[in-house]
Amino acid sequence: MIALVDDRTLAGMIDHTLLKPEATPAQIEQLCAEAVEHGFATVCVNGAWAQLAAGLVAGTGVGVAAVAGFPLGAGSSAAKACEAADEVRAGATEIDMVINMGALKAGDDALVEVDIEEVVRSAGRDAIVKVILEAALLTDDEKVRACRLAVAAGAAFVKTSTGFGPAGATVEDVTLMRKTVGHAVGVKAAGGIRTREAAEAMVAAGATRLGTSSSVLIVQGG
């Protein structure tokens, strides 16, 4: 198979991810070393490891993405905002937050938008915010509404999945999200992307960032 995206370009689109609750400092160190070696966009970690990761990748061009309201999105807006602010102080350059899916399903779009706005405000100018929809739990109409609310709230990206939900990224969801947000906002595909073929399919559908724990295998052509 002929690669549609060269290795360097693809690596620069990947958030090298380790969000397992049992992740150890040694595993975070390995994650960061791999990210630096391969030139990944960021390492994506839980907030407890943001400071460690930031120190390990400092000066390398690799960023640190930390998660907020993860993986359920059902915490208060204040709690998510506080978490995001703490992670930015620790050195995170990107915040991946989970929306309040219950509010979205109930039609409370104002709450969903404010929830995102508070995280964007707390992250400030030092970090960009990606909004995780957990698309597998939403209807297409809800996905479209969530994307529009994320854009209105000032988010830099919309993201398909946490990787902890019932399913991960699909080409169909990425296509729908890209169509909804246009070209001013990024689309991150995450969850279940384990092969080069899957990664390239997401890019072809409109993804500008990929979240995966199989990053090394992917850029090595697996």
Q: Which residue among the candidates 15, 130, 159, 173 is catalytic per the annotation?
A: 159
The answer to whether residue 214 sits within a structural domain is yes
Number of domains in the chain: 1
- The predicted structure's pLDDT at residue 1: 44
Which amino acid is located at 199 in the chain? Answer: A
Which amino acid is located at 154 in the chain? Answer: G
The answer to whether residue 65 sits within a structural domain is yes
* Paired residues of 18 in beta bridges: 45
Q: Which residue among the candidates 96, 115, 143, 173 is catalytic per the annotation?
A: 96
The answer to whether residue 178 sits within a structural domain is yes
The answer to whether residue 102 sits within a structural domain is yes
The answer to whether residue 52 sits within a structural domain is yes
**Does 140 participate in catalysis according to the annotation?**
no
- The predicted structure's pLDDT at residue 205: 97
- The predicted structure's pLDDT at residue 3: 55
**Does 105 participate in catalysis according to the annotation?**
no
Task: State the residue range of the domain holding 154.
Answer: 7-219
Cis amide linkage into residue 71, ω under 30° from 0:
yes
- The predicted structure's pLDDT at residue 4: 72
Average pLDDT, the chain: 96
- For 107: left if phi > 0, alpha if psi spans -120 to 50, otherwise beta; the answer is left
The answer to whether residue 1 sits within a structural domain is no
CATH of the domain at 51: 3.20.20.70
The answer to whether residue 158 sits within a structural domain is yes
- Give the tens place of pLDDT for each residue, 202-221: 999 999 999 999 999 999 87
**Does 96 participate in catalysis according to the annotation?**
yes
- The predicted structure's pLDDT at residue 95: 98
The answer to whether residue 2 sits within a structural domain is no
pLDDT block averages, 10 residues each, the chain of length 222: 75 98 98 98 98 98 98 98 98 98 98 98 96 98 98 98 96 98 96 96 98 96 69
